Amino acid sequence: MKQARHGWYRAAGKRLGDVAGSLIGLVVLAPVFIVIGLVVALLLGRPVFFNQVRPGLLGVPFRMIKFRSMTDARDSSGQLLPDVRRLGAFGRFLRVSSLDELPELWNVLLGHMSIVGPRPLLMEYLPLYSREERRRHEVRPGITGWAQVNGRNAIRWEQKFELDIWYVDHLSWQLDLKIIALTVWRVLKREGVNPADETVMPRFTGSGTDGK
């Protein structure tokens, strides 16, 4: 494993900051949680939260929680409709504003995630990564990250992974503060939320390597 700078921050400082930041966020944003939860229940139905198992630090699974942004609309045979058809105007607003990500502060408090780090993707992607791409799991996944402030869903998977690994190798408190500040700016400008030609990000199908 390559050594990142600021080992003291990686070892303890980052986690302390995550605990403090998530506690403050959960308390301060409690009214926002209540309002969003009520609107989600009214417009999209229940449950209000969407949870899914994702790979965390070193690929260890955890259950990530978000506000739901899609309905449970199904076709005549009972199968869920494609994501694009289940993502309505309010769901798009939640994603564009990143408000659907707020419940992940609870994951941060529990130690499953960090405020800043590579985004936790699907468990089924794990066997598809190359050896270098797997290095994104050397740190806790984050609510926001270096890839999110450098294109988010508007860049290719390979670019995302390169940015994730760059973050792993350059992790520092200065970089984390920069990413948080850029995240606020990107969300306000609504940049990079959707891929250039898609409503939702296409699934990762492998990088064309042999996985070694």
The pLDDT-based confidence of 6 (bands split at 50, 70, 90) is low
* pTM, entire model: 0.85
The pLDDT tens digits for 26-83 are: 999 999 999 999 999 998 888 999 999 999 999 999 999 999 988 777 766 767 777 6
Q: What is the DSSP string of 91-131?
A: HHHHHHHTGGGTTHHHHHHHTS-EEESSPP--GGGGGG--T
**pLDDT score for 92:** 86
Compute the residue count for the chain. 212
Domain positions in the chain are 7-189
- Minimum mean pLDDT range among 90-99, 135-144, 176-185: 90-99
Do residues 166 and 4 lie in contact, with contact meaning Cβ atoms separated by under 8 Å?
A: no
In terms of pLDDT, which residue wins out, 209 or 21?
A: 21
Helices (H), 44-88: 83-86
**pLDDT score for 211:** 42
pLDDT at residue 85 above 60? yes
The pLDDT tens digits for 122-171 are: 999 999 999 999 999 999 999 999 999 998 777 889 999 999 999 999 99
Distance CA 188, CA 81 (A): 30
Task: Please tell me what DSSP assigns to residue 59.
Answer: G
**pLDDT score for 100:** 92
**pLDDT score for 124:** 94
pLDDT, average across residues 71-96: 77
**pLDDT score for 103:** 96
